[in-house]
C-alpha cells in the first residue's frame, strides 16, 4: 500500500515538473522568437517580388489559354 502511494506521489511530482519545464521553455522561445518589424525598403522589395510573381502567373495562364486554343483548332 505504501509503495502505491509513493509511486503516485512520484508520478504526480514528475508530471508537475514536466509541465513547469515545458511552460518555461515556451515562454523563453516566445520572447526570443518575436520577429523584428521589416523596414520600409524591405516591404517595398517584397511587394515588387509579389507583383512580379503575379505577372508571371498571369503570363503563364495566358500562354496556356493560347496553347489550348491552338490545340482545339
pLDDT single digits (tens) 5-57: 889 888 989 999 999 999 999 988 877 666 666 677 677 777 788 888 999 99
- Residue 67, SS3 per DSSP: helix
Q: Which residues contact 46 (CB under 8 A, 6 or more apart)?
A: 38
**Measured on CA atoms in the order 55, 56, 61, 67, is the torsion positive or negative?**
positive
pLDDT digits (tens, 9 = 90+) for 57-70: 999 999 999 999 99
- Give the closest residue to 55 by CA, choosing from 67, 47, 65, 45: 47
> Is this prediction's pTM over 0.95?
no
Amino acid at each position: 500500500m505504501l509503495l502505491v502511494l509513493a509511486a503516485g506521489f512520484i508520478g504526480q511530482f514528475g508530471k508537475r515538473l514536466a509541465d513547469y519545464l515545458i511552460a518555461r521553455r515556451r515562454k523563453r522561445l516566445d520572447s526570443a522568437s518575436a520577429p523584428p518589424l521589416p523596414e520600409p525598403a524591405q516591404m517595398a522589395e517584397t511587394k515588387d517580388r509579389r507583383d512580379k510573381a503575379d505577372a508571371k502567373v498571369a503570363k503563364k495562364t495566358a500562354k496556356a489559354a493560347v496553347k489550348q486554343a491552338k490545340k482545339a483548332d
